[in-house]
A and B are shown apart, each in its own frame.
Chain A
Amino acid sequence: MIEADHLHKTFQAKTGPVHAVRGVSFLARDGEITGLLGPNAAGKTTTLRMLYTLMSPDQGAVRVDGIDAHRDATAVRQRLGVLPDARNVYKRLTARENIAYFGRLHGLDDATIEQRITRLAEMLGIDFLDRRTEGFSQGQRTKTAIARALVHDPRNVILDEPTNGLDVMTTRSLRGFLQKLRGEGHCVIFSSHIMQEVAALCDRIVVIAGGEVKAIGTPDELRALTGESDLENVFVRLTGEASVA
């Protein structure tokens, strides 16, 4: 379970302070997929970075399974599997070595790591474990990065735009994988700027624009809220108002 409680974050830019996230609050439950939906530069990545403790919020709090991220960042990180926006793999290591490196950093022993790699490879459809990642396709790299992020079998999973740059087939298999995680009772958060993708997968959608939460609900609730049946129109209605404001 991941709780975002009135998060604020401001950056100092050359043109002055940029208030990137303004009071974002939501709750992501176990056994659900929560989608963070918003246009580019809506504050999704910054919000996620605060969730996985890479940034500390100026105001507000993050709680993972009830643990305060500010007070015990290490415990929170142990409970999180993170696929950040920047997610390159080490090109001179094989996929297996890439995953095992993170397993060791999580303090796992070699036997456990081997077992997890076999399982994740099966779930993600990785059949290139012992090849060096140099020359991998975007899809192969993303799958390796996801396996690397989940090697310690975390309760909570945060994925920042996981389908970016992936083709239809890979996206589809990734969707299947996330549904499997939900089935196992994991708490999954993922961000996207594509309404259809979020609607096809998520139990709950958090619409963010201009650093603020515009709406929270199931896809049907959002349709009802906006009075639109077409998903794209729902998205435009919800986020478009933000750009006017």
Chain B
Amino acid sequence: MNTVFIVARKELIDLFRDRRTVLMGLLLMPILFPALILGAGSMAERKARTQLESTLELPVIGAEHAPNLIRFLRGQNIDAKPAPEDPDADVRAQTYDAVLRISPEFGERWRDSRSAEVELIYDSSRRDSQIPIARVRTAIEQYNRTLALLRSIDRGMSPEVLQPVRLARRDVATPESRRGTLLAFLPYLLILSSFLGGAYLVIDVTAGERERQSLEPLLATPAARAAIMSGKILAAICFGMLSLVLILAAFKISFAVAPGQMRLVHLSWQLLLQLLVVLLPMVLIGTTLLTLIAASVKSVKEAQSYMSVLMLLPIVPTVMLMVNPIKNQLWQFTVPFLAQNQLILRLVRSEIVTLAEWAVYLSTSFGLGLILWVLAARLYHRERLAISA
């Protein structure tokens, strides 16, 4: 056991004397992540606000056939303007968000109290135009309802005849669950930084040390190889957890000073602590997995070539959940990445995580870490590991 601490202490001293690497490793993420999230968040909010509140300029074909509708739209802050020649091509080319076409018979049918046709040309695959389109549709529906109401009264009918069913909405989302949607990106960032946060350190202390030709004397000492390896893993875990603490602290501070809706996000110390507990096994799994890789490859370069694949792993559950959302089930807490993803989302949404779920999660994830540790320790005993050249 003593050997573990001796090795861990040496690796941490060695690492922290490499000032620039440590500064980049520890501070880059805590600065970058909040900037990214807050920046993207406030940009989205500003955009939504401008799109909602500014005057929407809508090209209209055949505006002259429905002066009444055009006036109504102007009342809704939507200004008609002359239409382009080829509306389909212009919408597809993203020159306009949407184009409204009013049929020439509009006036005639309107006067006869028959359904008059208007056509909205838009591109549903463009996220950016969702708000303007929703505004136009709402406005036209409103016009529709107002007109129907007036006509029914005119004919001595109750307006309720026209509305056999009335839909009332009640949104049960709590402020916490709303902030959950605001933080959908958080699990990925946290899982990625815990999984690979100490990656270069882990690769460096095994494959790097061998390349620098100092592993052979180390392995020729009477210290047990499993203990030497565990010391290196312990050092990497300490570094990984320190970097996570800094990242979480950065999030807490930046949400406290953020503008608008972001300020609703309150990360309590208790929540941060729970997140650290969720992420600790992830740090262990990442570190042991990388040790396993670093001990099996021939060079640092070869070890690094695995990184791009490893970086994709944490995205897999996020993408799967996006395509195929599933309800919470106990088995999910046994699947690495998916388990962390679900747990972080639930903690952030202030939902209860039961004791059984904690137990299943912690035992399976630490179990996986242990299995990887045993496999890595086996590789550490191979003759080839010590031989540098």
| Binding-face segment, B44-52, B209-217, B357-365 | B209-217
Whether A106 lies near B388 (C-beta < 8 A) is no
Q: How far is the CA of A101 from the CA of B8 in the complex (A)?
A: 11
Chain A CB within 8 A of B220 CB: yes
Among candidates A49, A86, A106, residue contacting B213 with C-beta atoms closer than 8 Å? A86
Chain B CB within 8 A of A149 CB: yes
Chain A CB within 8 A of B327 CB: no
Whether B217 lies near A148 (C-beta < 8 A) is yes
Q: How far is the CA of A149 from the CA of B214 in the complex (A)?
A: 12
Among candidates A88, A93, A107, A132, residue contacting B10 with C-beta atoms closer than 8 Å? A93
- CB closest chain-A residue, reference B220: A82
Among candidates A49, A93, A97, A102, residue contacting B221 with C-beta atoms closer than 8 Å? A102
Q: Could you say which of A80, A84, A87 has the most chain B C-beta atoms within 10 Å of its C-beta?
A: A84
B6 CB, nearest partner CB in chain A, Å: 5
- On chain A, the number of residues with a Cβ less than 8 Å from chain B's Cβ atoms is 33
| Docked complex: A182-239 residues within 8 A CB-CB of B | none
- CB closest chain-A residue, reference B13: A93
In the complex, what residues of A have CB within 8 A of residue B222's CB?
74-75, 77-78, 105-107
Whether A86 lies near B388 (C-beta < 8 A) is yes
- CB closest chain-B residue, reference A81: B220
In the complex, what residues of B have CB within 8 A of residue A80's CB?
220
| Docked complex: B177-222 residues within 8 A CB-CB of A | 212-222
- CB closest chain-A residue, reference B214: A88
| Binding-face segment, A21-29, A33-41, A52-60, A163-171 | A52-60
Whether A53 lies near B220 (C-beta < 8 A) is yes
Chain B CB within 8 A of A104 CB: yes
Q: How far is the CA of A83 from the CA of B220 in the complex (A)?
A: 9
In the complex, what residues of A have CB within 8 A of residue B212's CB?
88
Whether A93 lies near B214 (C-beta < 8 A) is no
Q: How far is the CA of A53 from the CA of B18 in the complex (A)?
A: 33
In the complex, what residues of A have CB within 8 A of residue B389's CB?
85-86
Q: Could you say which of A88, A93, A97 has the most chain B C-beta atoms within 10 Å of its C-beta?
A: A88
B82 CB, nearest partner CB in chain A, Å: 71
Among candidates A54, A78, A106, A148, residue contacting B216 with C-beta atoms closer than 8 Å? A54
Q: How far is the CA of A77 from the CA of B10 in the complex (A)?
A: 21
> Known interface pairs A54-B386, A105-B3. Does A90 touch B220 (Cβ–Cβ under 8 Å)?
no
- CB closest chain-A residue, reference B212: A88
Residues of A near any B CB (own CB < 8 A): 49, 52-56, 74-75, 77-78, 80, 82-90, 92-93, 97, 101-102, 104-107, 132, 145, 148-149
17 pairs of residues in contact across A and B, judged by CB atoms under 8 Å: A53-B220, A54-B216, A54-B220, A56-B383, A77-B220, A80-B220, A84-B216, A84-B220, A86-B389, A88-B213, A92-B14, A92-B17, A105-B221, A105-B223, A106-B221, A106-B223, A148-B217
Closest A-B pairs by Cβ, 10 of them: A86-B213, A88-B213, A77-B222, A92-B17, A86-B388, A88-B214, A86-B216, A105-B223, A84-B216, A82-B220
Q: Told that A54-B219, A90-B14, A101-B6 touch, could you supply 5 new A-B pairs with CB distance under 8 A?
A: A49-B387, A86-B388, A90-B10, A92-B17, A105-B3
